[in-house]
Structures are given as C-alpha cells and as structure tokens.
Structure 1
Amino acid sequence: MIPKGLKTHKVTASALRFRAAPNGRVKALLFRGDRVFIRESYVGSPWVKVVVVGKSRSGIPHETRGWVYRAYLKR
C-alpha cells in the first residue's frame, strides 16, 4: 500500500524498463508521465525500488512493485 501524503515521481524517459531486480529481467515498460512511489533506495546505487501509482500507460497495475534507474524520475 502506498502511504498517503507522500510525493510521487514522474517518469521522464520516453520508455523506462521496469525490472524484477536491479539490472534484472524486464517485466514491462513505463512511459513518460507514468507515476511511481519510491519504496526503497540505497546510498550510492542508481537503482530504486518503486511502486506504480495508478495504472501505467503500458498496463502495469496499480501498486505493482519493481526496480527502475533513478536518473529517469523527477518529482
């Protein structure tokens, strides 16, 4: 569940690989404008564990968890 009141991030890449693990298999794609909530991040790592907010443009269901490269997200 996504905590209420926390800020989400928007995908800025035209297509961003949504992965099962950092540098792992690609589960689906997120597209520019899709929203995610950062669930976990680690100092020094470019990877963040995210939760999809709402249904993504590619059909990833709300609250699906996966990993993305942080550089392609903005508040």
Structure 2
Amino acid sequence: MRKIMTAFGLATALLLPVSAQAVAPAKRFNSCGYEVTAKAVKLRTGPSTRHPGIGQLHRGDDVSADKAKGAWYRVSTDNKTVSGLPAETEGWIRKAHVREHVCMQLD
C-alpha cells in the first residue's frame, strides 16, 4: 500500500507543474475595448501584412481584443464600422493602430 501511495504522490508531483501551466490565467485585455486611431487600416486574416485584408477600419471604430501575437491584436468589431463591416467581424490589427478605451463607473 505504501508503494502505491508513493507512486501516486510522485505521479501527482510530476503532473502538477504541467497542470498549473495549463490553467494559468490568460492575458487580460481591456474590458472596455479599444478605439482605432489610424485614419484607415486594413483588418487582416492573420497577424502580419502577408495575410490578406478583410476590410478597412477607420479612426473611431470600436473593437474588442481577445488575443495578442507580437505587435498584433486579434479583434472583433463592436458595431457596424464606418466602412460598413458588420458587428462582430473578426480579424487582426497592429497594436500601434488602437488605443484602450478608458473605463469609467458612473454612480
């Protein structure tokens, strides 16, 4: 019985770091979203200029980010955009072309 417990304890100890890494909290993004700051920028299918464009975003368009890769955010449009992309259109945009909205609580 003791050998079984020791083997179980060893297996648990060996698996714990892997499990802890698997459930590590994801990078948090601004819950209030982001605003496009560029006059016009392509929303792309992937995180580089080698990926084709889906459409254009314009200054003032609102997006939400859910993933980052290098200098890029994967975003979805919050509303219909100035260029006519529908709400919830997903794509990639360079981080340099957006700024965080400021969250405010009004009482």
Q: State how far apart, in whole Å, the 1-side matches of 2:59 and 2:96 are.
A: 13
Higher Rg of the two aligned structures: 2
TM-score normalised by structure 1 residue count:
0.86
Q: Residues 1-75 of structure 1 correspond to what in structure 2 (within 5 A)?
A: 6-23=31-48, 24-42=51-69, 45-75=70-100
The alignment yields a C-alpha RMSD, in angstroms, of 0.8
Following TM superposition, the consecutive aligned residue runs of length 4 or more in structure 1 with deviations greater than 6 angstroms are none
Q: TM-score, length-normalised on structure 2?
A: 0.61
Give identity over the alignment, percent: 32
Give the aligned residue type for 1:8. Answer: G
How many residue pairs end up in the alignment?
Answer: 68
Identify unmatched segments of 5+ residues in structure 2: 1-30, 101-107
The residue matched to 2:67 in structure 1 has which SS? strand
CA deviation profile, 1:5-43 (whole Å, cap 9, x unmatched): x2110000000110011121011100000000011013x
Greater relative contact order (Cα 8 A, min sep 6): structure 1 or 2?
1
More helix by share: 2
Corresponding residue for residue 15 of structure 2: none
Q: Which runs of 5+ in 1 are unaligned?
A: 1-5
